[in-house]
Amino acid sequence: MASITISDVDDRLRLCLEVRAARHGRSLEEEAREILQQAIGDGVPVANLGQRIHERFAALGGVELELPERKPMRDPSGPT
């Protein structure tokens, strides 16, 4: 298993992490690993950007848009 080092951690952030770890009965390192695991999830990237956007805002509910009537395309060769 790999190890990482995080430099320049703000004192307040470290204190908050220590308090959170104590609340959960974990070491500082265990708490950091748990936070990282929650942030990353299962690590499987979502198929595409549209799907990611949908998942991000799904909890807010949908929007019904009135779509304009579609008309046939113009002839690209122009008038004859």
pLDDT tens string 45-77: 657 888 888 888 888 887 788 889 998 888 888
Alpha-carbon dihedral angle through residues 36, 42, 44, 50, given to the nearest 10 degrees: -80
Helical residues (DSSP H) of the chain, grouped into ranges: 11-23, 28-40, 49-57
What is the C-alpha separation between 71 and 69, in angstroms, rounded?
Answer: 7
Domain residue limits, the chain = 11-59
Per-residue model confidence as pLDDT tens digits over 4-50: 999 999 999 999 999 999 999 999 999 999 999 888 877 666 578 88
